Amino acid sequence: MPFPAGSIHIDERWLSSQLIWPEPDMTPVDLDAWWWWRKRNLDLYDSNVGARIDAIKGIEKVVQGLAVLAKGRAGGILSITGGKIADQMPWEALERGFIDRALDYHPVRADGTIAAAPADRTGALRVALLVGHEGNDKTFARDEQLAQLKSAFSASAQVKARIADADAIATLDLVAVPSDKDRSDFFADADPHAVFYFGHGRAGSVPAIWVGPENGGWLPLERLAGYATNQNPFPASWIFIACSIGEAPSHDAGPAGPEAFRILATRGARAMLAMRARIRPQLGQIVAASLIESLSGKIPLEFAAATARKTARRARQSGTSSLVDWAAPAVWSTVVGPNPPRSADILPQLIAAKLTRVAADDPGVGLGPPDNDVAQTAARWSQDRRVRVDVAGTDEPALAALFAKIAGAIAAQSPRPTLFVRLRETGSFALRLAEWASSMLAALDGLERETVIGRALRQLSNRDLDGLEALVGIPDIALIFSSPPNVGDITAWAIFEGAGADATIVLGYASVNQEQRPLWTLDRVDTEATMQIARDALQNYPATLALLAVLDGPAKREALALITGEASAEMAADLTINMPSGIVLAPGVRDIVRSTLQDDELARAHQRAFEARRSVPALIESDDIFAPVRDLAGAGAIELVDFVNAFATRFASDWGAAEWLRLGRSLESARDRWDAIDPRVLLEIASALVERQTLRQALPWLDAVQTDDPLLNTTRLSLLSEIAKAEGTPGAQQKMWRHAQDALRQIQEAKSQSPLDPRLRARARDMKANIARLNLYFNHDAEGTRVTFTAILDELNRENEATVASSLVATLRNLAECLFEFEPFRSAGAERAEARRHLRRAIDIARRHCLDSLGAEAAYSTAKLDEVESDWAAARDHLTGTIELARSAGHAVCQRIAEMRLFRLSVQHENTPFDHTLFAVRLRKLEFLESHVWAKRYAAQARAWAARELERAGDLAGMRLLLVRNIQLFEPLAQVASDSDKHLVALSHAGLASAGAVGNQESWTRFRELSWSAVWIEEHDAHDPSAYWRGDV
């Protein structure tokens, strides 16, 4: 038959056969005569087969030619067709001769009769997993094999992110289910993309699989294929982890290949992978796990086979065996010529796993169960999120292998994209990232380079740290860096420390003492041997290990014996990490100690720590003044409440929000005692949480407040009003007004009874300002609000500035926004000038009195005023200042909104191209804060803006996703929402109705069905959704 174009084929001759290359400029290679191949024994399970392969005439030239073709085709398929020699040549095993181990080598025994791949099913991968009878193989137990394989598939790195659900892997025991009808029903219900068979196989003219003597012995493959023939498309990919199925000689007439492939291809299969040699079940499991991971990432079987062979080869080479059975998996395919189609929808999980394996030079990373120490470390890092790892004394190759294994384990424990970034230790972080990114880009194909990770690598290769921000912003990303940024790499540190709460970032340190960074967990990867040492040490030093397990900071080794009475100097150094001021327990050891010891033993350790801090001289020293509070809380000490009240009275006079929050964290374990603590302490902690806009966390503290003091109760009510305001729901809005009005009423009643009390007068003034603020933003009564705020400002100006600084800053900002954001003042130049004066003064007062949170909000208002006056440079400066102040104050809502506004300004007014990835990074950070309605509204505004940018770029699918999300969030609130909320709903529906040439008119019909839409359409002349969408600014 004629050989397909673009394939390797062999012209079989009597005395000397000849290999013909698909490229005309490549010299043919003379091989042994065809009849000589009958005498060759190329059993890949024979330990001497390597020498026999090397003895094939012309084999070195064949290997060289294959390497040239593989490189020239950028990892594409090498189609091989024709004859007995072509079938018997061990193409897969020839990879052992390549110098370039990373070469993408994809030999496929291609059929020449079908020029295009049959259409496959759509949707997430579904697998049919079949097992046959174990025969005489004692290492192959059917029940165990099914459980192990399904578990390996489900736990394999990245697979969980891409299969439909747990039922997407359907299992069938062909021995236990002998009925033809039941087997056919199984295939009809499973509707698999791919079929895996584990068991024994037989080649020949009637290929078959072994189902046991009680079921008739050999089940013909023709019959098995009949079970899979139904109203659904025939499964495209068939995988046989079984002996012999792929060993039969190829036919010369199509579909060409062994009889097994002819049977499947005739019915519609695209590709078959089968073994050309015996293979052990353990190696077969590795091959299967690799294959299903690749297939779940929509990588065709023709390509997936190469990764599976590399993985099996690494597993073989890590042992002592010299077998070449890793090369047994071979692929036959109906596809010839163009590569099999691959979807452009490549998830980041797959790219991250691929790059991690490239960095570690190990294709098996993440396949199979991890070691216990690796699994435990992976679980800790996923929970801690920001980790500094002590890697002192670990050589670089060993560190890379370890970090890659942990990355694989994190990915296997959850469907998270997990990436190991292998960097050299010296040089600027941007330079080191550029070198790593450049090397990784070479491993990605064209489609992969257009993914989020691929585009980030391109940016990083040019030393653009926007690429780092893009990586950190991938949802649920876990990034493990072999070395950290330098102290001077300020931008990189800002990106890491500003990453979303869903991101895990791990940094390896050659010395953890080289710097200290707050809020980063210190860790070390401990081996199972170290864990056993810890368990043994608990028998000899229980009190010492318990003490170290409850301490948050270091302790001097020589003081431990004095505190606990144990001779702990002999305790193994492997259990601790040395710090400049003492030792800390390694986190893995800490976990073992805490899980082993009883609660009362840990409570005694906390009590010992408290007493050691109070001894003279102190046996435990710390700059953390809140450590004694944690000790007493952990000990369950009866004196905790009295201590906290006295502690706050003595030290709190110069505390800010940060200190009150630290006190709150120290009391977390003593929630049952909160209601006994001085309510002033509880309210200060709640106020600090509200100031940081972590509003829901403030509610338990407010619930614990018990007081009849009108000043304290007014504070509680005003905080509850602020929390309700941020929720944005109808019920919450009613609570907001009720709490605010109750607070004003109660303080006015108290003031009427004691009219000369300055504290009551001041609090009444603040409550009056709060009602005015709500009246401005919810009822838009700018004129009345201006009168109220002006009177309050006059009163505040007569007070000592330091005493009323917070009220001054808030009043000045609210009065300014009244003048430039609301009618009838917003268009008047005189009012805008007055507003700017108020904002300048507010920022100045906030700076002088360290009110960074209020100062950030005032700076943000100034940026908005700059935009009203089209002063884009000033707006950029004020937004940058906002971000810095908000970051220092922990005001995450203000910071994230300012970051998004700055991004939008750069695109709209500074000619910066719209980068969808960077937009998505900033949007995700805002979405984490959507429990606060300010963040929720600004995120929606940003989506509407970005939707227009995507529409201009032709990305209508991305545009629709953003607008649909807006509708989902705001349409339920439309009955009581503000005009701005209604505007977002109307605009989003209009955008959907206008997208593309036709648009989705059903969306506008849905909008018109809303109870308030008719009035809205009339008031805003929104009869034409397209005009409304394109005319809105």
Question: DSSP states of 806-841 as a string?
Answer: HHHHHHHHHHHHHHHHSTTTTT-HHHHHHHHHHHHH
Residue 87 forms part of a structural domain: yes
pTM, 2 dp: 0.69
Reference 593, options 605, 582, 583; nearest CA is: 605
* Range 801-823 average pLDDT: 92
Q: Taking 90 as the threshold, does the pLDDT of residue 874 lie above it?
A: yes
β-bridge partners, 421: 481
Mean pLDDT, the chain, rounded, equals 83
Q: Taking 60 as the threshold, does the pLDDT of residue 251 lie above it?
A: no
Q: Which of 286, 301, 333 is a domain's end point?
A: 333
State yes or no: cis peptide before 1025, omega within 30 of 0.
no
pLDDT in tens, 666-690: 999 999 999 999 999 999 999 988 8
Give exposure, 143-153, as e/b (b: 16+ Cβ within 10 Å): eebbebbbebb
pLDDT score recorded for residue 103: 59
* CA separation for the pair 609, 127 (Å, rounded): 56
- Comparing 310-314, 345-349, 568-572, 931-935, which segment has the lowest mean pLDDT? 568-572
Q: Which of 303, 333, 363 is a domain's end point?
A: 333
Give yes or no for a contact between 324 and 50, defined as CB atoms under 8 angstroms apart.
Answer: yes
Same domain membership, residue 517 and residue 535:
no
State yes or no: cis peptide before 255, omega within 30 of 0.
yes
Give yes or no for a contact between 550 and 602, defined as CB atoms under 8 angstroms apart.
Answer: yes
* CA separation for the pair 106, 823 (Å, rounded): 69
- Reduced to 3 states (helix: H, G, I; strand: E, B; else coil), residue 10 is strand
Helix count and strand count (H, E) for the chain: 43, 21
Q: How far is CA 768 from the centre of its chain?
A: 46
pLDDT score recorded for residue 869: 92
* Range 520-547 average pLDDT: 81
* CA separation for the pair 553, 551 (Å, rounded): 6
* Range 874-882 average pLDDT: 95
State yes or no: cis peptide before 617, omega within 30 of 0.
yes
* CA separation for the pair 757, 549 (Å, rounded): 51
- Residue 208 sits in a domain whose CATH number is 3.40.50.1460
Q: How far is CA 829 from the centre of its chain?
A: 48
Q: Residue 901: phi, psi to the nearest 5? A: -65, -40
- Range with top average pLDDT, 49-58, 356-365, 455-464, 616-625: 455-464
Reference 897, options 865, 860, 853, 947; nearest CA is: 860
Same domain membership, residue 311 and residue 177:
yes
Reference 508, options 427, 633, 420, 608; nearest CA is: 420
Query: 């050299």: which residue's tokens?
Result: 424
β-bridge partners, 128: 170, 195
β-bridge partners, 107: 78
Give yes or no for a contact between 218 and 210, defined as CB atoms under 8 angstroms apart.
Answer: yes
Residue 393: pLDDT band with limits 50, 70, 90: low
Same domain membership, residue 352 and residue 327:
no
Widest CA span of the chain, in angstroms? 119
Same domain membership, residue 273 and residue 312:
yes
Residue 857 forms part of a structural domain: no
Residue 796: pLDDT band with limits 50, 70, 90: very high
Residue 869 forms part of a structural domain: no
Q: Could you list the residue range(s) of the whole structural domain that residue 1031 is in?
A: 930-1033
Residue 586: pLDDT band with limits 50, 70, 90: confident
pLDDT score recorded for residue 1021: 84
Reference 548, options 531, 527, 534; nearest CA is: 534
- Comparing 130-139, 169-178, 273-282, 1021-1030, which segment has the lowest mean pLDDT? 130-139
- Range with top average pLDDT, 205-214, 223-232, 422-431, 566-575: 223-232
At residue 8, what is the residue type? I
* Range 909-916 average pLDDT: 90
More confident residue, 84 or 849: 849
Residue 159: pLDDT band with limits 50, 70, 90: very low
pLDDT score recorded for residue 256: 56
In this structure, the strands spanning 237-242 and 478-481 are unpaired
CA-CA-CA-CA dihedral for 601, 607, 608, 612, to nearest 10: 160
- Reduced to 3 states (helix: H, G, I; strand: E, B; else coil), residue 549 is helix
Q: Taking 50 as the threshold, does the pLDDT of residue 650 lie above it?
A: yes
- Comparing 204-218, 703-717, 824-838, which segment has the lowest mean pLDDT? 204-218
Q: Taking 50 as the threshold, does the pLDDT of residue 158 lie above it?
A: no
State the DSSP H helix or E strand holding residue 19, giving kind and residue range, or none if neither. strand 18-20
* Range 1019-1029 average pLDDT: 85
Per cent of the chain over pLDDT 70 is 87
Reference 267, options 293, 236, 294, 246; nearest CA is: 236
State the DSSP H helix or E strand holding residue 990, giving kind and residue range, or none if neither. helix 979-994
- Range with top average pLDDT, 122-131, 784-793, 882-891, 973-982: 784-793
Here the contacts of 996-1000 (C-beta below 8 Å, separation 24 or greater) are 996/956, 999/1025, 999/1026, 1000/960
Q: Taking 90 as the threshold, does the pLDDT of residue 71 lie above it?
A: no
CA dist 443 → 64, 257, 309, 437, 978 (Å): 21, 32, 18, 10, 51
Q: Which residues contact 419 (CB under 8 A, 6 or more apart)?
A: 352, 355, 356, 407, 453, 471, 477, 478, 479, 480
More confident residue, 135 or 106: 106
Q: Residue 112: phi, psi to the nearest 5? A: -95, 5
Residue 775 forms part of a structural domain: no
* CA separation for the pair 124, 858 (Å, rounded): 49
β-bridge partners, 389: 508, 523
> For the chain, how big is the Rg over CA atoms in Å?
35
pLDDT in tens, 267-323: 888 889 998 877 777 778 788 878 877 777 677 888 888 888 888 887 776 655 667
Residue 188 forms part of a structural domain: yes
Reference 188, options 227, 149, 145; nearest CA is: 227
* CA separation for the pair 905, 895 (Å, rounded): 15
Residue 555: pLDDT band with limits 50, 70, 90: confident
pLDDT score recorded for residue 5: 58
At residue 198, what is the residue type? F
pLDDT score recorded for residue 845: 96
Reference 170, options 155, 149, 156, 140; nearest CA is: 149
Query: 């694989």: which residue's tokens?
Result: 408
- Range with top average pLDDT, 14-18, 236-240, 257-261: 236-240
* CA separation for the pair 942, 383 (Å, rounded): 30
Q: Residue 743: phi, psi to the nearest 5? A: -65, -45
Half-sphere exposure of 264 (CA within 13 A, CB side): 31
pLDDT in tens, 12-37: 887 888 888 888 889 999 988 877 76
Same domain membership, residue 557 and residue 477:
no
Reference 986, options 953, 1031, 946; nearest CA is: 1031
- Range with top average pLDDT, 480-484, 560-564, 593-597: 480-484
Same domain membership, residue 542 and residue 467:
no
Q: Residue 921: phi, psi to the nearest 5? A: -60, -50
Query: 């806009």: which residue's tokens?
Result: 693
- 442 burial level (CB within 10 Å; 0-12, 13-18, 19+): exposed
Q: Which residues contact 225 (CB under 8 A, 6 or more apart)?
A: 263, 264, 267
Q: Per the structure, how many domains does the chain have?
A: 5
Reference 348, options 87, 161, 218; nearest CA is: 161
Same domain membership, residue 471 and residue 611:
no
- Comparing 365-374, 397-406, 953-962, which segment has the lowest mean pLDDT? 365-374
Give exposure, 26-56, as e/b (b: 16+ Cβ within 10 Å): beebebbebeebeebebbbbbeebbeebeeb
* Range 935-947 average pLDDT: 91
- Reduced to 3 states (helix: H, G, I; strand: E, B; else coil), residue 682 is helix
* CA separation for the pair 236, 193 (Å, rounded): 6
- Reduced to 3 states (helix: H, G, I; strand: E, B; else coil), residue 30 is strand
Q: Which of 54, 79, 110 is a domain's end point?
A: 110
pLDDT in tens, 126-146: 888 888 876 665 555 566 666
Same domain membership, residue 88 and residue 174:
no
- Residue 445 sits in a domain whose CATH number is 3.40.50
Same domain membership, residue 1012 and residue 986:
yes
Same domain membership, residue 569 and residue 546:
yes
Q: Taking 60 as the threshold, does the pLDDT of residue 173 lie above it?
A: yes
* CA separation for the pair 448, 445 (Å, rounded): 5
Same domain membership, residue 411 and residue 318:
no
- The DSSP line for 884-948 is HHHHHHT-HHHHHHHHHHHHHHHHHHS-PPP-HHHHHHHHHHHHTTTTSHHHHHHHHHHHHHHHH
Residue 541 forms part of a structural domain: yes
* CA separation for the pair 605, 586 (Å, rounded): 17
- Comparing 58-62, 151-155, 209-213, 813-817, which segment has the lowest mean pLDDT? 151-155
pLDDT score recorded for residue 99: 57
Query: 């579904």: which residue's tokens?
Result: 126
Query: 């600004």: which residue's tokens?
Result: 938
How many C-beta neighbours within 10 Å does residue 695 have? Answer: 22
**Kindly report the CA angle at 384 between 381 and 385, in degrees rounded to 5?**
80
* CA separation for the pair 140, 132 (Å, rounded): 10
Q: Taking 90 as the threshold, does the pLDDT of residue 222 lie above it?
A: yes
- 428 burial level (CB within 10 Å; 0-12, 13-18, 19+): middle
Q: Which residues contact 605 (CB under 8 A, 6 or more apart)?
A: 543, 546, 547, 549, 550, 634
Same domain membership, residue 316 and residue 184:
yes
At residue 130, what is the residue type? L
Residue 762 forms part of a structural domain: no
Six-digit token string for 638: 């009866």
Residue 38: pLDDT band with limits 50, 70, 90: low
The size of the chain, in residues, is 1033
Residue 943 forms part of a structural domain: yes
